[in-house]
Amino acid sequence: MEKYGRKQELHTGTETEKLSAALPFWDKLSDAEQKLVREHTIVRVFDKNSTVFSRGSECLGFIRVLSGSVRTFLTSEEGREITLYHLRAGEDDVLSASCVVSQITFDTQMEAEEKSRILIVPSIVLARLKENNIYVRCMIYELLTRRFSDVTWTFQEVLFLRIDQRIASWIVQTCEQTGSTEIAVTHDQIARDINTAREVVARMIKRFSEEGLLRAGRGKIKVTDMEMLKNLCFNCRQE
């Protein structure tokens, strides 16, 4: 079990009972199904940078990020990575249950970006619910449809947007999420997030800095002209 960076496995009756009742399909389960979910739902803690799910690891199931953040990505045969989307606290996902969904024919990987607590309804339970309960079945495909949009947006950004637009978008969106104009981040993290090389990010941050859009320090960025950044940023203009 240590293999994938799990340091702890909590399974206290009261906690999983409370958490299970918060699942999006809970009210549609029969008493027997609720019992099954309650008895098998677990909470696991993943250390920063540890693997949550990969081709080699077991098929997880339905997951909800309770705290922390998880990155989902594709890997090429040569080891190149493409970040597809992030799951943050409160978000649900079933892509790590691809063994349960025959329509999913590609392999993704997930890793904890920081120490993360994750609720898991194991795939074996999920498979049984999917088989017998149309509401669970529908919820699984509905969640996957949401991820379909996330992935297609990533696709469009990588293939259609210029690198300055992608970096500007990343900075503006991160500022909006945190409610601050200062971001603690390395060029490496941005590069991985928008699927480019560290050197490309470094060069662009330098240009933004020279143009007075931001000030860059070691491991941090302080936006000084948000309006100009938003003008560059593709998604932001549409708001």
Binding residues vs a copy of itself (CB under 8 A): 74, 76-78, 80, 82, 101, 103-106, 134-135, 137-138, 141-142, 144-149, 151-153, 155-156, 158-160, 195
Question: 134 exposed, middle or buried (CB, 10 Å; 0-12, 13-18, 19+)?
Answer: exposed
> Which is closer to a copy of itself, CB of 66 or CB of 74?
74
As measured in angstroms, the least distance from the Cβ of 78 to a copy of itself is 8
Q: For residue 192, what is the enclosing H or E element?
A: helix 187-193
Handedness of CA 134, 136, 142, 144 (dihedral sign): negative
As measured in angstroms, the least distance from the Cβ of 110 to a copy of itself is 15
> Which is closer to a copy of itself, CB of 150 or CB of 182?
150
As measured in angstroms, the least distance from the Cβ of 151 to a copy of itself is 6
If we measure between CA atoms, which residue out of 169, 168, 60, 39 comes closest to residue 112?
A: 60
Distance CA 121, CA 77 (A): 30
As measured in angstroms, the least distance from the Cβ of 153 to a copy of itself is 6
> Which is closer to a copy of itself, CB of 88 or CB of 155?
155
For residue 77, give every residue at least 6 positions away whose Cβ sits within 8 Å of its Cβ, in sequence order, or none.
Answer: none
> Which is closer to a copy of itself, CB of 57 or CB of 235?
235
Distance CA 219, CA 205 (A): 12
Q: How far is CA 180 from the centre of its chain?
A: 21
Q: 30 φ, ψ to 5°?
A: -70, 170
Task: From residue 58, give the alpha-carbon distance in Å to each of 8, 22, 40, 100.
Answer: 17, 25, 16, 12
> Which is closer to a copy of itself, CB of 74 or CB of 228?
74
As measured in angstroms, the least distance from the Cβ of 7 to a copy of itself is 31
As measured in angstroms, the least distance from the Cβ of 139 to a copy of itself is 9
> Which is closer to a copy of itself, CB of 10 or CB of 138?
138
